[in-house]
Structure 1
Amino acid sequence: MQLAHELWHETAADPLAFLWQLNQRIFDRCSHEVRHQGDPYPPSVTWSSRQGSCRDMAVLFMDVCRAMGLACRFVSGYQEGDPDWEYRHLHAWVEVYLPGGGWRGYDPTHGLAVADRHIALVAAPCSRLTAPVSGNLRSGIGAVAHLEHQLSIACQAAQSPAAA
């Protein structure tokens, strides 16, 4: 609440300025850590420790927005990231609904407005509803669960309409 009110006051209650400042404040003051499993940390833990995974920062961003009455949703997908990285992982960011402007994406992990370098797979009001795999397995029934995945993302040059 304190962060929300500070930013709202600093930006003279301008929603676009508020969202941009919030995005930059989290990016500038929180360090990113890779954490492959687990629910997001509570927003107060992320902000007080000044570190978290992309999902932690997205949940913090959402909590601050909701404190000021802004509708938002958690988005899970992929982001271009560093082209030198061999592996790609799921990434999380936030979309905020602006009347007359629609859904606008913000990535506090990278301090970016979401554009063509993000590929959304799913969006929901809370992170738990975006999990790629969920469920339970009763023990003692002889079942074994095994999951493998492979992801390849390639960037292709755009073709001119005449060449297509």
Structure 2
Amino acid sequence: MRLNVKHVTRYSFDTPARGLVQTHKLIPSTCGSQNILSWTVTTGDAIRGAAFRDSAGDMVETISVRGPVDELVIEVIGEVETVDLFGVLRNYRETVPPTTYLRRTRMIRPDTALRELSAAALEGLDGDSALNRAHALARAVNEAIEYVPGATEEMTTAAEALAGGKGVCQDHTHALIAVAHAADIPARYVAGYLHSGEDAMGEASHAWAELYVQGLGWVGFDASNRCCPDERYIRLCSGYDAQDAAPIRGIMNAGVKEHLDVSVAVMSQYQQ
């Protein structure tokens, strides 16, 4: 499938900021399931700094803007050819060991309820394959947390989403990572794009989890849609949780009120 992406992020400020610095992870991953045909990131008058591939395999670029800054617009336009590898991350270069992703942050720390959900999902599967156990965890999260847009907030934790029984793709992903950690399975947060059409849960800007499956390596699981990422997905970057995997992170001088507007469109040119 050939997917076209247009992703515009607009920052505006009530009073001009003296300056800002941002770190971007806005270039899709280099891996077997996707081939970048064209990709452009425009940052207006920003000064573009270092660009490098980090130890997790993500392309990172820094930008800085000298003040006064009233507005910053970041525009991403690109085309990617994708293939379905059944969620398996192939031909991906990283140097950190999988066990790094057993680290627990506030967003993904498993509480008693998440541990119980993990144990219940894996009950009777001790002799089953690692892949089937991972699928069981993803199904359990999907059944425990109903997909309801607006039901949670940016800083809602996995434990809070499970307690409320409602959430969005970020909550499903955090919860899946948490139940995987409860079972001592390395797991991480993936940010990317989804050509959702009419059948999929989620917006064009999407998130899912990758679990480390013995014998296969990293495998993606979209608990919101009860599937593994296929040709409808573009993998952008990863991290411990949504904050760590954010495609755009930045700092600016304190005391300035920021307004953020984001629009993302993913269109399919053709299907194979």
| TM-score of the aligned structures, taking structure 2 as reference length | 0.50
Residue identity matched to 2:154: G
Residues matched between the structures, number: 155
Q: Distance in 1 between matches of 2:226 and 2:199?
A: 20
Q: Deviations over 1:126-161 (max 9, x none)?
A: 221122333233256xx78676655442222368xx
Q: Deviations over 1:44-75 (max 9, x none)?
A: 21112111121111000000001111111100
- Report if the CA contact (8 A) 2:134-2:213 is conserved: no
> Greater RCO between the two (CA within 8 Å, min separation 6)?
2
Where do 1:136-155 residues align within 5 Å? 136-139=251-254, 150-155=263-268
State the 1:84 CA deviation: 8.9
Q: Distance in 2 between matches of 1:48 and 1:151?
A: 30
Other-structure match for 1:3: 117
1:56 alignment partner, SS class? helix
Decide which structure has greater strand share. 2
Q: Deviations over 1:12-35 (max 9, x none)?
A: 353222211221222233211334
| CA RMSD, 1 decimal | 2.8
Q: Distance in 1 between matches of 2:143 and 2:258?
A: 41
Q: Distance in 2 between matches of 1:81 and 1:138?
A: 37
Where do 1:84-123 residues align within 5 Å? 88-123=203-238
| TM-score of the aligned structures, taking structure 1 as reference length | 0.78
Decide which structure has greater helix share. 1
1:59 alignment partner, SS class? helix
- Report if the CA contact (8 A) 2:196-2:204 is conserved: no
Q: Distance in 2 between matches of 1:129 and 1:17?
A: 28
Other-structure match for 1:22: 137
1:105 alignment partner, SS class? strand
Q: Distance in 2 between matches of 1:55 and 1:67?
A: 18
2:138 alignment partner, SS class? helix
Residue identity matched to 1:8: L
- Report if the CA contact (8 A) 2:138-2:221 is conserved: yes
2:235 alignment partner, SS class? strand
Q: Distance in 2 between matches of 1:91 and 1:113?
A: 13
Of residues 240, 251, 256, the one that matches 1:125 is: 240
Q: Distance in 1 between matches of 2:162 and 2:145?
A: 7
Other-structure match for 1:56: 171
Q: Deviations over 1:94-131 (max 9, x none)?
A: 00112320110000111111221111111112221122
Q: Distance in 2 between matches of 1:56 and 1:104?
A: 19
Instruction: List runs of 5+ in structure 1 lacking aligned partners.
Output: 160-164
Other-structure match for 1:79: 194
State the 1:91 CA deviation: 0.9
